[in-house]
Structure 1
Amino acid sequence: MENAKIAILLSTYNGAEYLAEQISSIIQQTYANWQLFIRDDGSTDQTTQIIQKYQKMNQHIIFLNESHIENLGVKRSFMELLAVTQADYYMFCDQDDVWLPEKIQLTLNEMLKNRDKEVPRLVHTDLMVVDQDLQPQRPMFGRDFQDNFRDVLYSNSVTGCTVMINETLRQLLLKQPFDPKQIVMHDWWFALVAAAFGEIAYLAEPTILYRQHGNNTFGADVKGFQRLRRFFKMEQEIKRFTDALQQDDYFAAVFGKADNLSAENKRYLQAAVTIRHSKNNFMAIKALFNSKAKKSTLKGTLLMWYVLGFRHNALKQSIKN
């Protein structure tokens, strides 16, 4: 599979400012056997004209909904792309970043370390956080970490624009219900499914210039003090974990009775569901203790335990709202 066919999935929405730079970086990849499938989600700027220009220039670029532009929202848009394309492996692409020249090759090399096609597999990489002028700030992660199901239930370190998945995971994602109102983001959902039924691999090397600018939908905390401020912004953290637990509830409804969900993962999932529906702080802390959930840093773990356990009443109120 060294010459595997790669489908790159790009959902655009008013991305004219940086889109040409992103597409150019894909064209300049060292790995050649790829196709770029683009779905526009209702742009009102020059985005569609840029796509049309590149489609005429390069036969590997396909504008899927050129004659039927419709706004679905980013989560449904990426799932639509996944449903209508066919390849050996699938990568996901944002409209405002820059891919480093060996991104496809490096990610594929990591994917091929396990050649068992029956295993649902997701590979993601580190990112180089840059400003709007592509000046480097720092690697986003810079270290190896565990992407196990127990921990992905509560937080996500899989960044969609670095992801490659195999056909087995694609089929698993598409054959089950997908309600965008119940999930936080498509990449987190992909990570949950991969961690529950297959495996996630992390390549601790930046393969992308991850641009931070005023129009980002989701971004990275670049400075340490910004991460520290999260301890004092409880409303945001309560909302973050409320959304995570809602997603876990939905995962339990979709996959909770699956025969191939291990007994261990069922226990972790049940703990997350119990935390959401606990009547008081004590019950939530007990469920959290049984789950043994943690984050990649001690500060992150302490914050999670504080919000899910000691601020459980506020969490319950957020769930009601």
Structure 2
Amino acid sequence: MDSALVSIIIPTFNRASYIGDALNSIMVQSYTHWECIVVDDGSRDNTADIMHAICKKDARISYYKRSKDYPKGVNGARNFGIDKSKGDYIAFCDDDDFWLPEKLEKQIPIFKSHPEVGLVTGNIEFVNADGVRTGRVITQTGNHGYVFEDLLFKNRLSMITPVIRRSVIDKVGLFNTNFTLSEDWEYWRRVAYYYPFYALPDVLACVRKHDANTSLIVTNAPFEQYVLYRKLTIALLAWGEDRFTKADKQLIAKVETKRYQQLLRNHCPGVRNKLGLIFKIFRKNWREGIAFGLVSLKF
């Protein structure tokens, strides 16, 4: 286990001001047997200059421009990095975030003591734009054991915390490049279908909050929430076409209904707003509009 190679994948795009912090946090890891693959998705700043200097400093770090054979976007870059990797375990870090020094040292031994586990995660803490820790910790201890049903309802993992076995990727496939939002949620669902997770109670990584966070694109508008969740469900059912049992499909449908009921309760107060959402969905797809209307009647 001490000699197990960990491949760390970092997609990057125009983050010259932050990528150095991310890589410094990896270079000081107490677990030293790793390789780091940085995949540039078309940066127009001086990311390349910074990366060439860092690669000279530490030979374990490699820098690539994403091949045109892989779709543009963060998941295309992650898939390119995975295909370039050689590790027994795969981890991810975003280009504007960073790890704490003992992250891998705490995670990797879990795989030996719990051979059934496919993914090991932990808690995150938010930092400000300057990287100063805020004390706001997001616990992920609920991601422990078989959490497929929980992940059907809500994304409960960050992207930068989990480490997964390479055999997991061999079984569930690469990231879905049709997603630019909630692309990690789509993937963790697939992993959770087959494998139990192990959640450490420690803060393992820090997420930087700044004006250019991709997460700021996410909207609470009811229709957009519906469209994204429905897209996630369709993708999951397509992936599971030859995997899911009848009971699996019934569970997915049950949780989907529960999710839409929450959407109606929290974001559509009053009959008028509910009818407005149903009408928008009906205009998008009349079958989906009818199905959502039936959900609202039950609600």
* SS of residue paired to 2:65: coil
Corresponding position: 1:271 with 2:245:
no
Q: Which runs of 5+ in 1 are unaligned?
A: 220-229, 276-286, 294-300
* SS of residue paired to 1:162: coil
Please tell me the root mean square deviation across aligned C-alpha atoms, in Å: 3.2
User: Structure 2 CA distance, aligned partners of 1:124 and 1:74?
Assistant: 21
Q: Which residue of 2 aligns with 1:215?
A: 212
User: Structure 1 CA distance, aligned partners of 2:241 and 2:275?
Assistant: 24
In structure 1, give the amino acid aligned to 2:105.
Answer: Q
* SS of residue paired to 2:252: helix
Q: Structure 1 residue 246: deviation in Å?
A: 1.3
Cα distance 1:270–1:164, how it changes in 2: closer, same or farther (>3 A)? same
Within 5 Å, give how 1:246-265 maps onto structure 2.
Answer: 246-258=231-243, 261=244, 264-265=247-248
User: Structure 2 CA distance, aligned partners of 1:30 and 1:179?
Assistant: 32
Q: Which moved more, 1:68-77 or 1:78-87?
A: 68-77
User: Quick one: percent identity of the two aligned structures?
Assistant: 22
Q: Structure 1 residue 182: deviation in Å?
A: 5.1
Q: Structure 1 residue 318: deviation in Å?
A: 4.5
Within 5 Å, give how 1:264-303 maps onto structure 2.
Answer: 264-271=247-254, 275=256, 287-288=257-258, 303=262
User: Structure 1 CA distance, aligned partners of 2:32 and 2:248?
Assistant: 39
Task: Pick from 224, 227, 232 the counterpart of residue 242 of structure 1.
Answer: 227
In structure 2, give the amino acid aligned to 1:190.
Answer: Y
Q: Structure 1 residue 128: deviation in Å?
A: 0.9
* SS of residue paired to 1:108: helix
Alpha carbons 1:307, 1:315 under 8 Å: kept: no
Q: Which moved more, 1:13-22 or 1:237-246?
A: 237-246
* SS of residue paired to 1:218: helix
Q: Structure 1 residue 304: deviation in Å?
A: 4.2
Corresponding position: 1:45 with 2:30:
no
Alpha carbons 2:70, 2:77 under 8 Å: kept: no
Using the size of structure 2 for normalisation, the TM-score is 0.81
Cα distance 1:156–1:131, how it changes in 2: closer, same or farther (>3 A)? same
Q: Structure 1 residue 109: deviation in Å?
A: 3.0
Q: Which residue of 2 aligns with 1:162?
A: 161
Alpha carbons 1:184, 1:244 under 8 Å: kept: no
Residues 203-239 of structure 1: per-residue CA shift (max 9 Å, x gap): 22211121111111126xxxxxxxxxx9xx862x442
User: Structure 1 CA distance, aligned partners of 2:76 and 2:202?
Assistant: 29
Q: Structure 1 residue 170: deviation in Å?
A: 1.1
Q: Which residue of 1 aligns with 2:170?
A: 171
User: Structure 2 CA distance, aligned partners of 1:9 and 1:179?
Assistant: 16
Residues 233-273 of structure 1: per-residue CA shift (max 9 Å, x gap): 862x4422431221111110121331xx465433212435x
Cα distance 1:87–1:127, how it changes in 2: closer, same or farther (>3 A)? same
* SS of residue paired to 2:138: coil
Alpha carbons 2:98, 2:206 under 8 Å: kept: yes
Q: Structure 1 residue 76: deviation in Å?
A: 1.5
User: Structure 2 CA distance, aligned partners of 1:61 and 1:253?
Assistant: 36
Alpha carbons 1:256, 1:266 under 8 Å: kept: no
Q: Structure 1 residue 55: deviation in Å?
A: 0.9
Q: Which residue of 2 aligns with 1:317?
A: 280
Q: Which runs of 5+ in 2 are unaligned?
A: 286-299
Residues 254-295 of structure 1: per-residue CA shift (max 9 Å, x gap): 21331xx465433212435xx5xxxxxxxxxxx43xxxx7xx
Q: Which residue of 1 aligns with 2:141?
A: 144
Within 5 Å, give how 1:1-321 maps onto structure 2.
Answer: 1-65=1-65, 72-116=72-116, 121-142=118-139, 144-146=141-143, 148-174=147-173, 179-181=176-178, 184-218=181-215, 235=221, 237-258=222-243, 261=244, 264-271=247-254, 275=256, 287-288=257-258, 303-304=262-263, 306=265, 311=274, 314=277, 317-318=280-281, 320=284
* SS of residue paired to 1:87: coil
* SS of residue paired to 2:59: coil
User: Structure 2 CA distance, aligned partners of 1:105 and 1:65?
Assistant: 30
User: Structure 2 CA distance, aligned partners of 1:212 and 1:98?
Assistant: 12
Alpha carbons 2:172, 2:191 under 8 Å: kept: no
* SS of residue paired to 1:206: strand
* SS of residue paired to 2:232: helix
Q: Structure 1 residue 20: deviation in Å?
A: 1.1
User: Structure 2 CA distance, aligned partners of 1:5 and 1:60?
Assistant: 11
Alpha carbons 1:15, 1:47 under 8 Å: kept: yes
Cα distance 1:180–1:318, how it changes in 2: closer, same or farther (>3 A)? farther
Q: Which residue of 2 aligns with 1:284?
A: none
Q: Structure 1 residue 46: deviation in Å?
A: 0.8
User: Structure 2 CA distance, aligned partners of 1:313 and 1:122?
Assistant: 41
